Each structure stands twice: as structure tokens, then as C-alpha cells.
Amino acid sequence: MRRNRFRLLLAAWPLLFPLLAVPSFAQTAETVCIQCHGSQPGPLGAPVAAWRTSIHAANGISCHNCHGGDPTDMANAMNPARGFLGAPKENDIPAFCGRCHVGVKEDYLASAHGRALGHGGPQCVTCHTNHAVQKATPDLINSQSCSRCHDYGRAEQIKAAVVETDRRITEVDRSLADLHRTGIVTKEMEDELFSLRNRFHRIFHSVDVDKVRSQTADFQTELQKIQGHITAIEAQLQRRKVWGGVVVALLVCWGIVALLVFESYRKEK
């Protein structure tokens, strides 16, 4: 009887793997906001389609993270008692987005753009849109967007000042990812780069050419320090590879010599 039970268990065991591999419904289910709006045509469903392409969606930021409400209860999803905030009015958008993007909000409010808020000046949605928010890069500074309100000249100067630093940030980020894949602990450097990138993107919103140029030079210096640590680690890894190759070559040579000695000894026998 025990042997039969054991055989039955062995036969059933492979069938359990698909169940173990499938995440629970709670892990994969979309919020009720997306379930409801995602199935609707026109303006009611458009925000979901736009959101799916956004940096917010890529980082797990969903409707309720911005608009509040209960994302698990269809009946109370838009209940103010459950924290539902709805869509902000135009002049309230910087404060609305600034709940997460605190530093950006501060720089924006101190800028010419921020000082013109409520008087025809742009706010977050003007440049970043509301739901299809993309990753912050210098590409967001372009003549098509900026010339909707003013001449592109000053914006072009800001972009020219930041584009090289942004490129170097991307290169350092890739280098850290390469080191991480080799088993090197890179968390401290990754944290430094994360902080640097966030502070760097803040200065875009000051729309002050002189400030951007001076602070960009400071960021270049910080980047050089991180790159210096990466270069030192890469050099150490390269030395290990060289010495590893030398050891392997010596072992091969020793093996060949040992084999020749053995063969010579065998022939003499």
C-alpha cells in the first residue's frame, strides 16, 4: 500500500509544477480602475491605453497611486472616504505630481515656468502629458514641444548643456549593470548614480541656462568619481583573468611534462 501511494505521488508530482509556477490572482490581477476603464471606448478608456506605455506603468505606478481611491473594490474605487482625489485642476497639477517628485516641484515653482503658473505658464502635463508620461531624457526638450509657447533658443542651449552628461550617466549605468552580472556588489555605486540622476534631472526644470551649465559641470565631476571606481574594479578583474590564464597555462604545461615523463618511463620498462 505504501509503495502504491509513493508511486502515485511520483506520478502526480510533475503536474504540480505548473500550479507552483503560476503567480496567485492577487499578484497578477489588475486594479478595478484598469479593469473598468480599460474595457471602455473613447475618452473613458484612453487613459489606460496611454498609461500602459508610460514610465509609471513600467515602474508599477498605477491609477490609485496618483488619484487615490480603493483599487480593490469596484463600488468604492472613487469614494473620497477611501482617499479618492480625482483629477487635479490645472493650477494644482504641480502640487499633485510633487507629492512624489518633490525636488522637481521645488525647482519648477522657483523657475520662470512656475512663476507663470495660473497666468498662461506651463505645468507638468503641458510637457509630460498626463498618462503617457515617458522616461525623463533630454529628448523631451525639443523644438516641437518648446516652440508651442516660445522661441526654442534658450531651451536648445539647456539641452546642449545637459545632453553629454545624460549620455555619460547612461554609460555608467550600463557599466554598473555589466559589473553586477559578473557578481560584483555594485549597490553603493548604483545608489550614488540614482541620486545623481535624480538631482541632474531636477535642474532641467529651472529653465536657467547659466544654472544648468554650472551645475552640469559639478555632475560631471561626481560622475568621474563613480567611473573611477568602476575602472579600478574592471582593471582588477582583468588582472585576475590574466593570472588565471597564466595558472591554467602552467597547469597545462605541467600536465604535458608529466605525460612525457610517464611515457618515457613506460617505454624504458
pLDDT tens digits, 66-118: 999 999 999 999 999 999 999 999 999 999 999 999 989 999 999 999 999 99
Q: Comparing C-alpha atoms, which of 62, 55, 132, 68 is closest to residue 96?
A: 68
Rounded-to-integer distance, Cα 264 and Cα 241, Å: 34
Q: What is the pLDDT of residue 136?
A: 85
Question: How many residues can be counted in the chain?
Answer: 269
Q: What is the pLDDT of residue 223?
A: 92
Q: What is the pLDDT of residue 249?
A: 81
For residue 59, pLDDT over 70 is answered with: yes
149-175 average pLDDT score:
91
Residue 269's pLDDT band (cuts 50, 70, 90): low
Residue 143's pLDDT band (cuts 50, 70, 90): very high
For residue 61, pLDDT over 60 is answered with: yes
Q: What is the pLDDT of residue 107?
A: 92
Rounded-to-integer distance, Cα 83 and Cα 79, Å: 7
Percent of the chain with pLDDT over 70: 88
Residue 5's pLDDT band (cuts 50, 70, 90): very low
Residue 119's pLDDT band (cuts 50, 70, 90): very high
Rounded-to-integer distance, Cα 43 and Cα 207, Å: 33
Question: Structural domain boundaries of the chain?
Answer: 29-85, 88-134, 148-257
pLDDT tens digits along 181-222 = 988 899 999 999 999 998 898 888 988 889 888 888 889 999
Residue 146 has which C-alpha cell? 518648446
Residue 74 has which C-alpha cell? 469596484
For residue 30, pLDDT over 90 is answered with: no
Rounded-to-integer distance, Cα 268 and Cα 262, Å: 10
Long-range contacts formed by 89-98: CB under 8 A, 24+ apart:
90/123, 91/117, 91/118, 91/123, 93/123, 93/124, 93/125, 94/123, 94/124, 96/66, 97/124
28-52 average pLDDT score:
87
Write down the pTM of the prediction.
0.69
For residue 263, pLDDT over 90 is answered with: no
- Between 255 and 156, name the one with better pLDDT: 156
Separation in Å, CA 139 to CA 91, 142, 143, 175: 26, 6, 10, 22
Q: What is the pLDDT of residue 3?
A: 47
Q: What is the pLDDT of residue 35?
A: 92
The alpha carbon torsion through 141, 147, 152, 158 (nearest 10 deg) reads: -20
Q: What is the pLDDT of residue 111?
A: 92
133-143 average pLDDT score:
89
For residue 7, pLDDT over 60 is answered with: no
Q: How many CB atoms lie within 10 A of CB 186?
A: 20
Residue 257 has which C-alpha cell? 611534462
Q: Tell whether the torsion through CA atoms of 254, 258, 264 and 268 is positive or negative.
A: positive
37-43 average pLDDT score:
90
Q: Tell whether the torsion through CA atoms of 137, 139, 140 and 141 is positive or negative.
A: positive
Contact 73, 82 (CB under 8 A): yes
Mean pLDDT for the chain overall? 84
